[in-house]
Amino acid sequence: MMKPYKSILLALMYFITIHAFSQYTDVINSNRPGVSRSAFSVGKNVVQFEVGPYFVKEKRTPATTYEVSGLGADFAARYGFLFEQLEINIEGTYQNDTKTYTYQAGAEDDRANFKHLALGAKYLIFDPYKNEEANKPNLYSWKANHRFKWRNLIPAVSIFAGINYDTKNNPFTAPGIEGISPKVMIATQNNFAGGWVFVMNLIKDRIGTDQSDFQYILTLTHALNANWVIFGETQGIKSDFYADNLFRVGGARLFGKNFQLDTAITFNTKDTPSVFNASIGASYRLDFHKDPVIDNGTSAEDEAGRRDRKSGKKRSKKASKKNKDTNDNSPKKQKKRSIDFD
């Protein structure tokens, strides 16, 4: 009965709800299918692309009544730069829809633009999982691997800083919002026993503008096995321009170590407007990561050199002893001995 659990535990070391215990992992580490951001980067010299087309349907029933129907896509490009802890990325959402004002016959507004577009960098400032020995699975005890550990309450923490870019007369932003504005985020991540991971994002967006959003995102994911993961997520948005509480559920499937497919639905519980969103997505990475070479003097070449030096010292000692014995048996030594005995 224990063997299946052992194999699953080993697999989860490489695929824990798509979020990893270390910066670089043997399988892809994607932020999808939710919208929260992991505390960890993709790993040094890893290039990763994430995209998710979606269908959106909105309906507002109180005045002013309208309906929105259209398509869009979330996208991100991520790169592990200089250090394992550092990631630079560009991400955004582009949407093309039709807004129909139902209180007035024939009144429509065709819209197409970026709902948001940001460039920035994320850096891991605290990693409680860097002690590999403490986080290895116990292959002899299922109970030991699934019991609660207090240290798991201490999250990994990263910080993000970047800039938004909004075009002039963007229909998805407040009037007058255009150009560049700052964006900051704190991302935390807890990895619990049994394949559970909890991610929290606290975001301040478009700082200093008339649409300075505050957002929180809470995501709970669970790995069913080495290839399948499910998740639930809540996102709160608060600003003078827009406020909402969104909920997401979905899952993802791993195909090989560099490719993942996912799907999710998004909805809310209000009618100003009501929101329904269905998405599919994919993540793919180009893995140029190389483990650092640590010279601790234990390479085969070093060991061979040490053995040669050791053998050389032994040969030198033997040769010295042999020469000494030869000198002791020389005629002069023998003559001296004979004289001494006389």
Digit-coded pLDDT (tens) for 152-195: 789 999 999 999 999 999 999 999 999 999 999 999 999 998 88
Q: Check residue 105 and give its pLDDT.
A: 79
Whole-angstrom distance, CA of residue 236 vs CA of residue 313: 74
Asked if the model's pLDDT at residue 3 lies above 80, the reply is: no
68's tokens: 């929105």
Q: Check residue 132 and give its pLDDT.
A: 57
Whole-angstrom distance, CA of residue 297 vs CA of residue 320: 30
Nearest one of 291, 290, 287 to 79, comparing CA atoms? 287
∠ CA 288-289-294, rounded to 5°: 140
Local structure of 67: helix, strand or coil: strand
∠ CA 60-64-67, rounded to 5°: 40
The answer to which of 30-39, 224-233, 282-291, 309-318 has the lowest mean pLDDT is 309-318
pLDDT confidence band for 6 (50 / 70 / 90): very low
Tokens 């959106």 -> residue: 56
- Which tops the pLDDT comparison, 9 or 180? 180
Enumerate long-range contacts of 102-108, CB under 8 Å, 24 or more apart.
102/65, 102/66, 102/67, 103/63, 103/64, 103/65, 103/66
202's tokens: 């606290």
CB contact at 8 A, 200 and 217? yes
pLDDT confidence band for 10 (50 / 70 / 90): very low
DSSP string, 201-263: EEEEESTTSTT-EEEEEEEEEEESSSSEEEEEEEEEEE-SS-EEEEEEEEEEEE-SSSEEEEE
pLDDT confidence band for 104 (50 / 70 / 90): confident
- Which tops the pLDDT comparison, 104 or 46? 46
Total-model pTM: 0.76
- Which tops the pLDDT comparison, 206 or 136? 206
Length, in residues, of the chain: 342
Cα 315 to Cα 250, 301, 308, 309, 321: the distances in Å are 72, 21, 10, 10, 10
230's tokens: 């499910």
Q: Check residue 200 and give its pLDDT.
A: 98
Asked if the model's pLDDT at residue 324 lies above 80, the reply is: no
The answer to which of 125-139, 191-205, 324-338 has the lowest mean pLDDT is 324-338
Whole-angstrom distance, CA of residue 122 vs CA of residue 170: 27
Percent of the chain at pLDDT > 90 equals 62
What are the pLDDT digits (tens) for 37-54? 999 999 999 999 999 999
220's tokens: 């709970």
∠ CA 43-214-42, rounded to 5°: 5
Identity of the residue numbered 249:
V
Mean pLDDT, residues 118-143 taken together: 76
Mean pLDDT, residues 202-222 taken together: 96
Would you call the peptide bond into 33 cis, given omega within 30 degrees of 0 as the criterion? yes
Q: Check residue 337 and give its pLDDT.
A: 46
What are the pLDDT digits (tens) for 245-304? 999 999 999 999 999 999 999 999 999 999 999 999 999 999 998 876 655 555 455 555
pLDDT confidence band for 339 (50 / 70 / 90): very low
Whole-angstrom distance, CA of residue 118 vs CA of residue 137: 38
What are the pLDDT digits (tens) for 45-89? 999 999 999 999 999 998 889 999 999 999 999 999 999 999 999
Average pLDDT, the chain: 83
Query: How is residue 150 annotated by DSSP?
Result: G
Asked if the model's pLDDT at residue 326 lies above 60, the reply is: no
Whole-angstrom distance, CA of residue 234 vs CA of residue 247: 5
